[in-house]
Homo-oligomer: A and B are copies of this chain.
Amino acid sequence: MSDLKRAFLEGGHALAEAAIQAGCRFYCGYPMTPSTEVLEYMARRMPEVGGVCVNVESELEGINMVWGATGAGVRSMIASTTNGMSLMQESLSEMVLGRIPAVIVNMGRGQGDYNMCTRGGGHGSNPAIVLAPSSGPEAVETAYRAFHLAEKWRHPVMIFGDFLLSHTSETVTFEPPEDTLGPLPDKDWATDGARGRPPRLLTSLGMRITDAPDGSPLPDAQTRTDVTAPMRLAVQRHEEIAAAEIRVETHWLEDAELVVSAFGVPARFAQYAARLARDEGMKIGFVRPYTLLPFPAETFRRVAERGLPIAVFENNAGQMVQDVRLAVEGRAPVHFIGGISMDSSGFGVGPHIDALHILQRLREVYATRNAA
């Protein structure tokens, strides 16, 4: 089967196809809605391209298979949902230390996993790079980018979506990513067979120190393992990534008197609410972090330096709002206008994913913007 060029696909399927076109040849997953669709697509499609798709027996086993396949130099991906992500946390922490450039997709049930994704749910606070597409077409582009960034930085990359991303069908176009993303380093670390070359070791357990600080080789008896080196290097790598890879979408900031911020597909609802608000005469700006980690703190800092209040909408109890507050550092008021979804069958008005609901919250905050 030749590669798809253009199709009307659910976001989960679009992301899967894009991953394959980005060169992914190993995929595994355990069914859990709304990530099941990625697995189903991969199960059908991978054999057609000579790749492997495994329905693993648990997410814990899956992430370690992805570790192995990626370590052997194969572009590999796993997708799961919320609880399944929790089961991967030990391995994810270690994969950051071991520099395993895998792509991990969290098709969450809402946006409640923001902290888990961006703080590194596991031990040692070793998070991946985290990308949050807001539409099917952007999911396609994100799949390309995820594999690219993973290998560029030799660091795991997480794609954080939700049921809206997975289940909404949109027309998507697949274009070869080679044209746009730049060259990648050789995989001179891959354990892809040591015939004719020295063996390689992929490990999260420390680095062997063989040179003195002045660069001269140490006598054998003085070589040793520096167990915290991978942690210190991961911190340093995050700083370098932050300097180079932050991406954020902004609109209407020039005349804004209030800024609304959101990420993922819910950001489209927030953006639409902002547009409706502008139709009512409210001067609302819009900021959508695309890289959740590194976080576009500078964008928020600049907004806050103008004294503009910021309203943060998330489909959770308030998590990204902390990153906004850390960026703003008191320079301007930060309002949380999101919340945990209630079932549509629930009583009363909850923070549904609903542009009119967001609009109403914007009206409330806007009315008090000078009082803050």
Residues of A with Cβ closer than 8 Å to B?
A: 43, 47-48, 52, 54-57, 60-61, 82-87, 89-90, 93-94, 108, 112-116, 119-125, 212-213, 224, 226-228, 231-232, 235, 316-317, 319, 322, 325-326, 328-331, 340-343, 345-348
Q: A240–B61 Cα gap in the complex (Å)?
A: 39
Complex: chain B residue closest to A204, CB-CB = B83
A60 / chain B contacts, CB cutoff of 8 Å: 60, 87
Q: How many copies does the complex hold?
A: 4
Say whether A116 contacts B120, CB under 8 Å: yes
With contacts A112-B231, A326-B326, A329-B330 taken as known, whether A86 is within 8 angstroms of B125 at the C-beta atoms is no
Say whether B54 contacts A61, CB under 8 Å: no
A53 → B minimal CB distance (Å): 9
Say whether A319 contacts B125, CB under 8 Å: yes
Q: A125–B348 Cα gap in the complex (Å)?
A: 24
A125 touches which of B122, B212, B317, B345 (Cβ 8 Å): B317
Q: A82–B124 Cα gap in the complex (Å)?
A: 7
Say whether B57 contacts A55, CB under 8 Å: no
**Most central of A61, A120, A235 by chain B CB within 10 Å:** A120
Q: A114–B121 Cα gap in the complex (Å)?
A: 10
Q: A317–B232 Cα gap in the complex (Å)?
A: 8
22 A–B pairs (Cβ distance < 8 Å), ordered by A:
A57-B61, A82-B124, A86-B93, A86-B123, A89-B121, A108-B123, A113-B123, A115-B115, A115-B119, A115-B120, A116-B120, A116-B123, A119-B119, A119-B121, A124-B316, A213-B347, A228-B340, A232-B342, A235-B340, A325-B326, A325-B329, A329-B329
